[in-house]
Amino acid sequence: MDNGKISVRYARALFQLAQEQGCEKAIYDGMERFARNYLLAIAQFNEVLSDPIVAKEEKVKLVEMAVGEPIHDALKQFIAFVADHKREDKMFLIAVKYLEMYRTKHNILRTNVTTATELSEGSYEKIKAFVKQTFDAEAEMEVKIDPSLIGGFILDIEHTRMDASVAGQLNALKNKLKQ
Nearest CA to 76 out of 92, 89, 61 is that of 61
Rounded to two decimals, the pTM is: 0.82
Amino acid 2 reads: D
* Burial call 48-86: b when 16+ CB within 10 Å, e when fewer: bbeeeeeeeeebbebbbebbeeebbebbeebbeebbeee
Would you give per-residue pLDDT tens digits along the chain (179 residues)? 566 788 999 999 999 999 999 999 999 999 999 998 888 888 888 888 888 899 999 999 999 999 998 999 999 999 999 999 999 889 999 999 999 999 999 999 999 999 888 888 898 898 889 889 988 999 899 989 988 888 888 889 888 888 878 787 778 788 888 87
